[in-house]
């Protein structure tokens, strides 16, 4: 297998699209919601406040396409579909948890900076 020199600073590099996906708010929340185990679509939709069904569908499809989420459809009536993280998806948990921890640790100073910036001169 050939070794690639991936460069996200190159606009044509596929890593840029992957970083866009991973950096997306909905991706972060879907991966976080699935980190405890498989969930059905409705459960995910209820767990992630503010996500539309359309955006959840698009996010799940994109994550499935990237091999980060596995979709399992069970042959039942009514049909039951569950989503779960693949091993690759689970490997995202640690860096995403670090980002969430960073956001929580710095949110007060970020809010203060925004208020200062937005204040009339």
pLDDT of 3: 62
The answer to whether position 8 is within a domain reads no
Model pLDDT, residue 2: 56
Is 1's pLDDT higher than 60? no
Whether the pLDDT of residue 15 is over 60: the answer is yes
- The whole-angstrom separation of Cα 91 and Cα 111 is 31
**In sequence order, what DSSP letters do the residues of 72-119 get, joined into one string?**
EEE--SS-EEEEEE-HHHHHTHHHHHHHHHHHHHHHHHHHHHHHHHHS
Residue 71's domain spans which residues?
Answer: 14-118
pLDDT in tens, 61-94: 999 999 999 999 998 888 899 999 999 999 999 9
| Domain presence at residue 4 | no
Residue 1, domain member (yes or no)? no
CATH number at residue 103: 1.10.10.10
Instruction: Count how many domains the chain has.
Output: 1
pLDDT of residue 34: 97
Residue range 9-35: average pLDDT?
A: 90
Q: How far apart are CA 14 and CA 5, in angstroms?
A: 11
The tens digit of pLDDT for each residue in 38-57 reads: 999 999 999 999 999 999 99
7: in domain: no
Mean pLDDT, residues 109-120: 95
Asked whether residue 42 is assigned to any structural domain, the reply reads yes
Strands 80-85 and 69-74: antiparallel
Whether residue 5 is contained in a domain is answered as: no
Cα 46 to the center of its chain, rounded Å: 16
């Amino acid at each position: 297998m050939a070794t690639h020199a991936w460069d996200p600073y190159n606009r044509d590099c596929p890593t840029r699209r992957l970083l866009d996906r991973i950096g997306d708010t909905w991706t972060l929340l879907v991966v976080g919601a699935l980190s405890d185990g498989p969930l059905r679509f409705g459960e995910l939709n209820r767990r992630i406040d503010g996500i539309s069904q359309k955006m959840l569908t698009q996010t799940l499809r994109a994550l499935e396409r990237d091999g980060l989420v596995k979709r399992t459809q069970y042959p039942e009536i009514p049909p039951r579909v569950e989503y779960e993280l693949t091993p690759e998806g689970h490997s995202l948990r640690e860096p995403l948890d670090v980002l969430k921890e960073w956001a929580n640790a710095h949110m007060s100073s970020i809010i203060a900076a925004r208020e200062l910036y937005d204040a009339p001169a």
